[in-house]
Amino acid sequence: MAEYKLLLPSMGEGVMEATIITWLFNEGDNVKEDDSVVEIATDKVDSDVPTPVSGKIVKILKQKDEVAKVGEAIAILEIEGEGTSSEEVKTETPAATPDTETLKTIEEPLQTVAASNVEFSGDLYLSPLVKSIAQQENISETELKSIKGSGLEGRITKEDILAYVANRGNQPAQQAAPVQAVSAPAATVPVSAGDEIIPMDRMRKIIAENMVKAKHIAPHVTSFIETDVTNVVKWRNKNKAIFEKREGEKLTFMPIFVKAIVKAIQDFPMINVSISGDNIIKKKNINIGMATALPDGNLIVPVIKNADQLSLSGLAKAINDLAYRARNKKLRPEDTQGATYTISNVGSFGNLMGTPIIPQPQVAILAIGAIVKKPAVLETADGDVIAIRNLMFMSHSYDHRVVDGSLGGMMLKHVHDYLENWDLNTEI
């Protein structure tokens, strides 16, 4: 028999470690190839790790709530054959590699990072590993902002910060600027008899932190519009049974809304941007984040990649797939990365409108309200008439640092126009 080391696999750019949530098998259990053996959590998403081989779990190396780094062994399996092997993990060659002594000096303390006085605001995204290195080396936020990241959307990778530390002695000294606290300390609330104390779970803590950072970073402005979606409702009623019979998929309103948003973004591409320091990054791809409520009440935002390249049918399938995998903890870390604009359907809870918070580093988000039948005034050749129509509010929040009222309002109006003038003969 041979020994096989199950390694924590790569989970996308910028994700360097994960927390063990629960093991789905115990030591001594036999597993088959592609069985999900452990649930893990990153700062982005929960997911399962499958085993690429069949065998028996003889040793679990990382227990519940422990943190493992990408490429680190988390379990040992006994498999057919001889010798020792492990799952192959691909790594990128760093552009600038520090010397061996520097690497050793930096990485050894990371196993048990000591408490540090260095704190960072929400203006800069740092993976847990990069943050640990920065704290260990007392690298200020000002210094971090001077590092040109080679990762996704200019993010600082492990190789970037190690290269910076290796050459730090050759850099001109920089004085750390005071960092403004993201929020005031939470008040201590007295507990009365009969009160129930519910500790926040890991995901709720992440959501809370991200929401506070988003409001701290971006000055929010929200515009509202009421849209007559009667044609959209008629079209869906006409096509949903046909589509389900043909594709085996539900046809919801979401692909229609996404289609209208994509067309409006193409009309106003400066909505599809991110801010990096004093630079505006105009994104080439249109990746639509889709806020999704989970069964436990938490929220996650899977991403429809290259939504502008998908047909209505393709959007419907992508949306259904992401929603299903989100609610069943089957999302991969990359499924929640790279959004350039987000939609939130508050109407699914019966709400008429909302004031959504912009996910960073995006600059806008659209909330869709409930579709409600109301009497409305229609202009006809014979004069104005009152008719029963399907009406819906949309709420558009945007970052006033780069999106002014004219741009934010016109973009919303174009989404409104595309939905209100929906062609009943549109093919699906």
Positions annotated as catalytic residues are 400, 404
Q: What is the DSSP letter of 62?
A: S
Helix, strand, coil share (%) of the chain residues, nearest 5: 30, 25, 45
Question: If you count them, how many residues does the chain have?
Answer: 428
Q: What's the rounded Cα separation, in Å, for the pair 11 and 45?
A: 10
Structure token pair of residue 242: 């046909």
Q: At what angle do helices 230-247 and 254-267 cross, to 10 degrees?
A: 120
Closest Cα partner for 227 from 100, 365, 369, 77?
369
Beta carbons of 307 and 286 less than 8 angstroms apart: yes
Beta carbons of 326 and 44 less than 8 angstroms apart: no
Closest Cα partner for 254 from 393, 154, 347?
347
Closest Cα partner for 84 from 162, 5, 146, 153?
5
Beta carbons of 70 and 8 less than 8 angstroms apart: yes
Q: Is 211 helix (H, G, I), strand (E, B) or coil?
A: helix
Q: What's the rounded Cα separation, in Å, for the pair 322 and 301?
A: 9
Q: What are the angstrom distances between the C-alpha of 157 and each of 16, 74, 301, 320?
A: 9, 23, 23, 33
Structure token pair of residue 99: 């010397």
What are 16-19's contacts with CB under 8 Å, separation 24+? 16/69, 16/70, 16/127, 16/128, 16/129, 16/130, 16/158, 17/42, 17/67, 17/68, 17/69, 17/70, 17/127, 17/128, 17/129, 18/42, 18/67, 18/68, 18/70, 19/65, 19/66, 19/67, 19/68, 19/202
